[in-house]
Amino acid sequence: MKKVFLCTFLLCAFLVTHLKAQQRPNVLILYTDDLGYGDLSCYGATAISTPHIDWLAQNGLRFTDAHCTASTCTPSRFSILSGRYAWRKKGTGILPGNANLTIPTDITTLPKVFKRAGYITGAIGKWHLGLGNTSPIDWNKEVSPGPREIGFDYSFIFPATADRTPTVFMENQTVVGLDTSDPIYVSYEHPFAGELLGKEHPEMLKMKNDPMQGHNYHIVNGIGRIGYMKGGKRAEWTDEELGLTFNTKAIEFIDRSREEKKPFFLYYAIHDIHVPRMPATMFKGKSKLGYRGDAILEMDHTVGIILEALKQRGMLDNTLIVFSSDNGPVLNDGYLDQSPETALAEHYKPAGIYRGGKYSVLEGGTRVPMMVYWANKIKPHTISNALFTQIDLMASFAKMLDEKLPENEFTDSRDYFSTLTGRQNTNRNYIIEQSGNNTLAIVKDGWKYITPGNGPTLLKAVNIESGYSKEDQLYNLKTDPQETDNLALKFPKKLLELKTLLNETRKEL
């Protein structure tokens, strides 16, 4: 009798755990690069059409007030993966390609939360969070710590940005296709003997760099880059095949999760639409907006490919998809690819109604497109005006997975899973935004306070308004979304409230 009871108990326990694992959705984060609030047709763009991305909005939830934590890449990615504001840690600004890993390996991270819950975890695409812990990095063997040490079972990445050396793919932290007789060396200080540089060989370039901005050092695929590199000739990528390569690896990873019968968490950091914009041949000249528009079409195609792959495998209904961007838009970010001219001709506004863009502290810097798709859980065509920040993904998914974040460990991440999935419209209490020069802003109840500083009001090289001022700035975003009427003197109490809250938050940790 006892035996029968025990067996029944064990069977029930097994079924409950199994069922729980089955109910857990796969989670896919599609994280694009430099995509602005006004760059998608589902956010009002008319000069471009993004049907696959729009599908996510039509069949899920679209945010109007979602933010990345910074208006540049590394700090936003640092925050989304670690659940900590990047300004709390030194050395988390835009990284060179030979920087060491910035995310501590001993803290809870977004992928670790999934791993603990029994998921298989993967990082594909752009990394830009540093690798290894030696200087210089030895690129000719496995480089660690890296994605694995912060919680990713699998990674297929490029180390920094497409405009920085080393211009190679890395699978599980090892350069792909490396010929050992042609070892790789990378430097950001000195060129290597015999290395041809863009600034000395403009005749070798198929796309001109902006002389104001550099990008005229190492040459790969007829494009000048930031940084120097020697060797690894066979391993170097062709920009036109970045999309195809990453998509293929993403699908392989999805298949691996099926084989292992585990739900997956995939952080797919799509390389589009960052410079150099050099999309696959089939997208060249396809938009009215030059290579930047063509790169948007390539990014939309990528989303379509991944959605189709999930559908074909019967996995779409059980995959929760988050689509967003790491910072606001920029037209000329170092290469003369006609983006500013075509945007002007088409009256194209990459940040939508907002001012500023990449690097700036104005809304255009961090207010980004964000959609969440989850079949049968989120109603089609849901629009949320709630204030949301990507830093909360870690605590929100921990909640979904019933995983407790360690109580004795500091985190900036809070659970807003109900807001993320449209069940509630609850605003986050406040959010903090960080600009390219580390100016901070805080937004609460529709009010925004920007700290004073010395930066230029116009970032000349990229032609973007920064939002910097020597004075305290206070805006009412509800009535003045373009941040034109500084109310700091008119509302001293509000100013003090936001200033104090920001200072208190800064002191935490």
- By CB under 6 A, name the binding residues for ligand NG6: 33-34, 72-73, 94, 128, 161, 163, 213-214, 226, 274-275, 327, 333-334
272 binds Ca ion (CB under 5 A): no
Tell me how far, at minimum, the Cβ of 196 lies from ligand NG6, in Å.
Answer: 20
**34 is a contact residue toward Ca ion (CB under 5 A):** yes
Backbone angles phi, psi at 291, to 5 degrees: -65, -25
Nearest to 105, CA basis, from 74, 75, 148? 148
By CB under 5 A, residue 326 contacts Ca ion: yes
161 binds, among ligand NG6, Ca ion, none (CB under 5 to 8 A by kind): ligand NG6
Going edge to edge, which strands form the sheet with 431-434?
A: 431-434, 440-444, 447-450, 473-476
H or E, element range at 262: none
Residues in the chain: 509
Give the one entry of ligand NG6, Ca ion, none that residue 132 binds, where binding means its C-beta sits below a cut-off of 5 to 8 angstroms depending on kind.
none
> Residue 98 or residue 327: which is nearer to Ca ion going by CB?
327
d(CA 309, CA 307): 5
Please tell me whether residue 73 binds Ca ion under the rule CB under 5 A: yes
- Contact predicate 338/45, CB 8 Å: no
Q: Find tokens 């896919």 and name the residue.
A: 28
Give the nearest distance from C-beta 35 to ligand NG6 in angstroms: 10
Among 29-37, 90-98, 247-255, 456-464, the segment contacting Ca ion (CB under 5 A) = 29-37
- Residue 163 interacting entry, from ligand NG6, Ca ion, none, C-beta within 5 to 8 Å by type: ligand NG6
User: Cα 243 to the chain's mean position, in Å?
Assistant: 16
Rounded-to-5 percentages of helix, strand, coil across the chain: 30, 20, 50
Q: Which has the closest alpha carbon to 131: 94, 163, 160, 108? A: 160
Minimum distance, C-beta of residue 292 to ligand NG6, in the bound complex (Å): 13
236 binds, among ligand NG6, Ca ion, none (CB under 5 to 8 A by kind): none
User: Closer to ligand NG6 at the Cβ: 263 or 436?
Assistant: 436
Of these partners, ligand NG6, Ca ion, none, which one is at the site of residue 287 (CB under 5 to 8 Å by kind)? none
Helices (H), 24-65: 51-58
Sheet holding 120-126, edge to edge: 174-175, 170-171, 154-158, 120-126, 264-269, 26-32, 319-325, 370-373, 61-63, 382-384
Question: Hey, what are 288's tokens?
Answer: 């009215």
Burial 128-149 (b: 16+ CB within 10 A, else e): bbbbbeeeebebbeebbbbbbb
At its nearest, how many Å lie between ligand NG6 and the CB of residue 270?
12
Smallest distance, Ca ion to C-beta of residue 343, A: 18
Select from 155, 327, 390, 466 the one that contacts Ca ion (CB under 5 A).
327
User: Which span sits near Ca ion by CB under 5 A: 66-74, 209-217, 340-348, 494-502?
Assistant: 66-74
Contacted by 214, from ligand NG6, Ca ion, none: CB < 5 to 8 Å by type? ligand NG6
114, 241, 434 from 274: Cα distances, Å: 28, 15, 19
CB of 363 to Ca ion, least distance (A): 17
Near Ca ion by CB under 5 A, which window of 73-81, 82-90, 182-190, 299-307?
A: 73-81
Between residues 357 and 422, which has the closer beta carbon with respect to Ca ion?
357
Nearer to Ca ion, 80 or 450 (CB): 80
List residues bridging with 264 in a β-sheet: 120
Nearer to ligand NG6, 60 or 467 (CB): 467
Q: What is the DSSP string of 106-137?
A: TS--HHHHHHHTT-EEEEEEE--S---SSSS-
- The amino acid sitting at 456 is P
Q: C-beta of 93: minimal distance to ligand NG6 in Å?
A: 9
Please say which residue, 326 or 392, places its beta carbon nearer to Ca ion: 326
Residues between 386 and 415 with contacts to Ca ion, criterion CB under 5 A? none
Nearer to ligand NG6, 33 or 294 (CB): 33
Using CB under 5 A, count the residues that bind Ca ion.
5
Residue 412 site contact among Ca ion, ligand NG6, none (CB < 5 to 8 Å, cut-off depends on kind)? none
- As beta bridge partners, residue 174 has 171
Judging by DSSP bridges, how do beta strands 431-434 and 388-389 pair with one another?
A: unpaired
Distances (CA, A) of 412 to 1, 16, 508: 52, 33, 9
Segment contacting Ca ion (CB under 5 A): 10-18, 67-75, 416-424, 445-453?
67-75
Contact partners, residue 87, CB within 8 Å, separation at least 6: 75, 432, 434, 438, 440, 506
Kindly state the smallest distance separating residue 380's Cβ from ligand NG6, in Å. Answer: 32
Q: CB nearer to ligand NG6: give 84 or 274.
A: 274
239 binds Ca ion (CB under 5 A): no
Site of tokens 């870690």: 394
| Residue closer to ligand NG6 (CB basis): 226 or 502 | 226
**H or E element at residue 178:** none
- For residue 476, what is the enclosing H or E element? strand 473-476
65 binds, among ligand NG6, Ca ion, none (CB under 5 to 8 A by kind): none
Q: Is 33 in the site for Ca ion (CB under 5 A)?
A: yes
| Cβ 357 to ligand NG6 shortest distance, Å | 11
Q: Counting contacts by CB under 5 A, is residue 216 touching Ca ion?
A: no
The contact set with Ca ion (CB under 5 A) reads 33-34, 73, 326-327
